Amino acid sequence: MTKINHWINNQIFTSQSGRAQDVWDPATGQSEKQVVLADETDVNKAVEAAQTAFPAWANFSPLKRARILDKFKTLLWDNVDALAKVISAEHGKTHDDALGEITRGIEVVEFSTAIPHLLKSDYSDQVGTNVDSYNMRQSLGVVVGITPFNFPAMVPMWMFPIAIACGNTFVLKPSERDPSTSMMIADLLKQAGLPDGVFNIVHGDKVAVDALLTHPDVQAVSFVGSTPIAKYIYETGMQNGKRVQALGGAKNHMIIMPDADIDMAVNALIGASYGSAGERCMAISVAVPVTDAVADALIERLKPKVEALKIGPASDKATEMGPLITAQHRDKVSSYIDIGEQEGATLVLDGRGFQQKMQGYENGYYLGGTLFDNVTEEMRIWKEEIFGPVLSVVRKPDYQSAVKLVNQHQYANGTAIFTRDGDTARNFARHIQVGMVGVNVPIPVPMAFHSFGGWKGSLFGDHAMHGNEGVRFYTKIKTVTTRWMSGLREDPQFTLPTL
């Protein structure tokens, strides 16, 4: 049984916590690895290493930090296939999907290599007699990332490249369900020349999370996960004096207007709803066709495509949708199908029991593509995040009621509209109460030089991830006012200077 330990000071750190849990292959239901779970002592060691490394790293020139990240980027490309295989083995997503995840993460690394420009500040000459003023952005210190299972490469790379580019040191607490990717990333950072202690990893559960949230040397915390945990991370971190950005859950809607290209919308829905088995915070889980005619056409075209999904292990190159991450999560998603039936939604396609069809993989955590029609706002399958391959269709008679449906939801992460009408699209983009919007784009994940973040129950804190928002989150501003007297002298002043 392979043991996965922590990474502290650029080397594997063997924990004495005595706690570990299995890491499962979701395609087979088998385990050949265990991840060691940190205790408070392990967390203290990681934070201590980061705190010790911070002064020297913060004193590196931004250009020197950028060059290390640039070498890291090259190493990521050189090892992208190996990274994708590890992701597929522990998460279950297809190889191509894993490659796409890594590519989006690398884009943030590329953005971070521009840090010499991104940290440039303002300078005002002669704001008063012989007085100049300027500001600078300086690093915070030790910062922490707590990341989910569904993107073991991309989500950490939303955080640590910008954080360390800005001069901070970093402690990552990845998901204990798929921990190996982060260890490969740590080794690549070492190969790129990152000094000891700048990037550290502690694996673990709530014990490790609480130790990080309450540690006095931790200055900021970034989190991606469910809304209840995001709220807990935000409140606990803030109570302990941390700066916090915590991204929570989602229930992303796609409105399909009567003038939309219906085949384009259907193909977009298939990928956006069932890709990665629906385990994406930007997955489309609710389709909102406007008028019954559009809804009927949508269901008619969707049903055969969902039935035809090639479901299997990532090792099969023909696979379009892999298993869910754990047996427990598969059962939770399956329970929502039970709930949808009980609430009166029309079950067009039922994915329960699909694993029984998987010859040789009957013990894997598979669920077939599921499709509900006639879902209403009173139903739990509309209200709650399911995080699986379950698409709900909510029919609406007109554009206004469709927009109202989206705006009244507690989550506001992403949304999309499919239409040929520019006026409708512009109105939607301006007035929808959601953080990320797609127009004929089903999964509107921003590029690295923009920022990722939702509204309402999907984000706690004032800053979104990566882009300029990320730079602002991982730095604090300092304003300096200088006066050079040039031989002038003044009497003492006892009022606030006005320059």
pLDDT one digit per residue (tens) for the chain, 499 residues: 899 999 999 999 999 999 999 999 999 999 989 999 999 999 999 999 999 999 999 999 999 999 999 999 999 999 999 999 999 999 999 999 999 999 999 999 999 999 999 999 999 999 988 899 999 999 999 999 999 999 999 999 999 999 999 999 999 999 999 999 999 999 999 999 999 999 999 999 999 999 999 999 999 999 999 999 999 999 999 999 999 999 999 999 999 999 999 999 999 999 999 999 999 999 999 999 999 999 999 999 999 999 999 999 999 999 999 999 999 999 999 999 999 999 999 999 999 988 777 888 999 999 999 999 999 999 999 999 999 999 999 999 999 999 999 999 999 999 999 999 999 999 999 999 999 999 999 999 999 999 999 999 999 999 999 999 999 999 999 999 999 876 566 677 777 766 5
DSSP-assigned beta bridge partners for residue 172: 145, 201
Q: Indicate the length of the chain as a whole number.
A: 499
Q: Find residue 187's DSSP bridge partners.
A: none
Q: Alpha-carbon distance 220 to 163, whole Å?
A: 10
Token code pair at residue 202: 């502690």
How many other C-beta atoms lie within 10 A of the C-beta of residue 102? 24
Give just the sign of the alpha carbon dihedral 294, 297, 301, 307.
Answer: positive
- CA–CA gap between residue 269 and residue 281 (Å, rounded): 15
pLDDT at residue number 184: 98
Q: Which phi and psi angles does 380 have, rounded to 5°? A: -65, -30
Active site residue 166: no
Token digits of residue 335: 């329970």
* 180-191 vs 80-91: helix crossing angle, rounded to 10: 160
Report residue 60 as tokens: 């590196």
The amino acid sitting at 301 is R
What's residue 321's pLDDT? Answer: 96
How far apart (Å, rounded) are the C-alpha atoms in residues 426 and 424? 6
pLDDT reported for residue 356? 72
- Euclidean distance between CA atoms 482 and 128, whole angstroms: 10
- Report whether 143 contacts 221 (CB < 8 A): yes
Nearest to 30 by CA among 9, 1, 53: 1
Task: Could you list the beta-strand ranges (E) of 195-290.
Answer: 199-201, 218-224, 243-247, 252-256, 284-289
C-alpha 253/C-alpha 409 separation (Å) is: 10
Q: Specify the pLDDT at position 47.
A: 98
Write b or e for each residue in 247-271: b if 16 or more Cβ atoms lie within 10 A of its Cβ, otherwise e. bbbbbbbbbbbbebebeebbebbbb
Distance (Å, whole) CA 357 – CA 245: 42
CA dist 310 and 305 (Å) reads: 10
Phi, psi values for residue 347, rounded to 5°? -85, 100
Give me the catalytic one of 23, 38, 142, 281: 281
Q: Give residue 119's identity as a one-letter amino acid code.
A: L
d(CA 92, CA 355): 14
pLDDT score for 354: 86
